[in-house]
Chain A
Amino acid sequence: MSHPLLPDDATRLVVEDLGKAFQGGPRATARGRTWALRHLSLKLGRGESLGLVGPNGAGKTTLLRVLTGVLHPEEGRFLLPSSWAGVLDNGPGFHGELSGRRNVELAGVLLGARRRDIRRKIADIEHFAGLEGYLDMPLKRYSTGMAVRLGFAVAASLEPELMFMDEVLVHVDAEFRERVENRLEELRRRGTTFVHVSHDLAWLGRMTSRVLWMHLGAVRADGAPGAILRDYAVAMHESVVGSG
């Protein structure tokens, strides 16, 4: 294995020429594979918050799955700090038969926390989710919104150096959304680096300091949120009008 120079202290993610291919598909190459992601390079610093936008199939979730170890790349490499968390789904592993408390431990450990650390934070998580008194009830009796709140409270209790989030804030009310935004902003000020995938452009406008527009597995544009999100919104609108 190569021994490249380590990134400097202010760096939190280095992606070099990353490629991920799947079998089959309409854009399959001679070897029968379609590149869902190709020649993607990226560098993120401490406290940066990156938003990923792009139409369905642009490779946003594939990129997150590769960077969080769910999928392994065919090309390229990446470096990330050992303290990272990948929130690709709200409340990973949540099981209806287990109590809220047990599910908190389960999801927290699956997201990379130690069990004892999660146990220590359980009162904070309960408070953040606004679910005081419900934690010993089986999760199957929770409403959708309650389960989402609990799942998000687990993710928000983590304090990793790098955090990936894929469209995790649906089904929550405006009050909880604001609480989440405040918490993420607090983490970012303390140095956590974020990568957000979302189709909610207003949310990305508030929560990111940089946006990457992906198209067919490659970077189409990279820059400040204002300009990129505006161009992207226009392009999406035109494609709807054009096809309609």
Chain B
Amino acid sequence: MVRQADARNPAAARATSAWIEVSAASRPLAARWSFFWARRDVVGVLTRRILSGRYHQTLLGVGWAVVHPLLAIGVFTWVFSHWLADQAPGGSWLAHNALGWVPWGFFTTALSGSAASLVGHADLLHQVALPRLALPLAVLLARCVDLLLALVVVFGLLLVDGTPIAGSVWLVPLPIVGLGLQAVGAGMMLAYVEVRWRDVGQVLPYLLQLGVFVTPVVVPAAVLAGAWPPLPYVNPAWGHVEAVRGLALGHSLDPSIMAAAWAWTALAIAAGAFTFRRTQQHVGEWL
């Protein structure tokens, strides 16, 4: 809580301009929007700290942001075009896999990264009060850098491959934003759960690996939905991953599946906001 001091006082120039009050019953400093706004520059410097830490002492540096997805896309495309060559959805396995893997990689790394952001920065959180939103947001922004590089490469691949890119490609950022908000909202909630129960860090990687097989990343949507029709609505990432591919290649999108994906995104934002406001006071002690 910040209030202005009495400006009529002749000593006002020397008086403190505003007071911050913290009490046992009040919201913790780190969970206040006013504190987030006052310390907003923290997001930028933390993003840079995360980026410099990720690729240090590697020959390729940030090039790994491109090599990782390329390797995965290459393997899946080679396998699928050998055994399932005649079933390529929309013409090319390369285009299909590349446009599935890149948003999926962004989603899973942003989600696991923001879920690990509090426990992973425990040393920092013992030194300074950080606005609760700062770390998950910095993780997301650092992943956006990787995503932009990967997208440039993917569209380069499509040009080489001769796959026609649809006019609706300019709308691709929309489902990307949907995925990013989903990842950071859910990731923020998981980050606070992980502070108390580190099991989250053990379980999440396996859940995300399983996610590849229930999301139209490489396995075509028709195959998965054929196995269990409610899947596109139950899987939060499904609609957004489909939308990235559909908008880039000009496929028609199912409005009800898109609505479900955005409903999941709204739910994740609500979960993140709830966490921001209501998480227990004990984060500093459990870290």
A209: interface (CB < 8 Å): no
Taking a contact as CB atoms under 8 Å apart, the answer to whether A112 and B39 are in contact is yes
Contact with B along A139-183 (1 / 0, CB 8 A): 000000000000000000000010000000000000000000000
Taking a contact as CB atoms under 8 Å apart, the answer to whether B128 and A73 are in contact is no
In the complex, how many angstroms separate the beta carbon of A25 from the nearest chain B beta carbon? 12
B75: interface (CB < 8 Å): no
Candidate in B14, B42, B49, B124 with the most chain A CB atoms within 10 angstroms: B49
A203: interface (CB < 8 Å): no
A132: interface (CB < 8 Å): no
Taking a contact as CB atoms under 8 Å apart, the answer to whether B124 and A93 are in contact is yes
- State in angstroms the CA–CA spacing of A79 and B21 once bound together: 5
Taking a contact as CB atoms under 8 Å apart, the answer to whether A69 and B29 are in contact is yes
List, in ascending order, chain A residues with CB within 8 A of B3's CB: 6
List, in ascending order, chain B residues with CB within 8 A of A161's CB: 16
Query: Which of A9, A65, A69 sits near B28, CB closer than 8 Å?
Result: A69
Candidate in B20, B48, B125, B129 with the most chain A CB atoms within 10 angstroms: B129
Query: Which of A9, A97, A98, A105 sits near B15, CB closer than 8 Å?
Result: A9
Nearest A residue to B5, CB-CB: A6
Total number of residue pairs linking A and B with CB closer than 8 Å: 135
Query: Which of B22, B41, B52, B53 sits near A115, CB closer than 8 Å?
Result: B41
Taking a contact as CB atoms under 8 Å apart, the answer to whether A70 and B125 are in contact is yes
In the complex, how many angstroms separate the beta carbon of A16 from the nearest chain B beta carbon? 9
Query: Which of B9, B20, B42 sits near A82, CB closer than 8 Å?
Result: B20
Place the interface of chain A in its size category.
Answer: 35 or more
> Which parts of B75-126 form the interface with A (CB within 8 Å)?
124-126
A74: interface (CB < 8 Å): yes
- State in angstroms the CA–CA spacing of A19 and B281 once bound together: 13
Taking a contact as CB atoms under 8 Å apart, the answer to whether B22 and A97 are in contact is no
- State in angstroms the CA–CA spacing of A23 and B280 once bound together: 14
- State in angstroms the CA–CA spacing of A83 and B19 once bound together: 9
List, in ascending order, chain A residues with CB within 8 A of B14's CB: 9, 46, 191
Taking a contact as CB atoms under 8 Å apart, the answer to whether A110 and B18 are in contact is no
Taking a contact as CB atoms under 8 Å apart, the answer to whether B16 and A12 are in contact is yes
Taking a contact as CB atoms under 8 Å apart, the answer to whether B19 and A93 are in contact is no
With A77-B24, A82-B17, A84-B20 given, name 18 new contacts (CB 8 A).
A1-B1, A1-B23, A6-B3, A9-B9, A9-B12, A12-B16, A65-B126, A70-B126, A70-B284, A78-B23, A82-B16, A89-B126, A98-B52, A109-B42, A110-B128, A111-B128, A114-B41, A115-B44
Using CB atoms and an 8 Å cutoff, list the residues of chain A in contact with chain B.
Answer: 1-2, 6-7, 9, 12, 19, 22-23, 46, 65, 68-84, 86, 88-89, 92-93, 95, 97-98, 102, 105-106, 109-112, 114-115, 161, 191
Using CB atoms and an 8 Å cutoff, list the residues of chain B in contact with chain A.
Answer: 1-3, 5-6, 9, 11-12, 14-26, 28-30, 35, 38-39, 41-42, 44-46, 48-49, 52-53, 56, 124-130, 281, 284-285
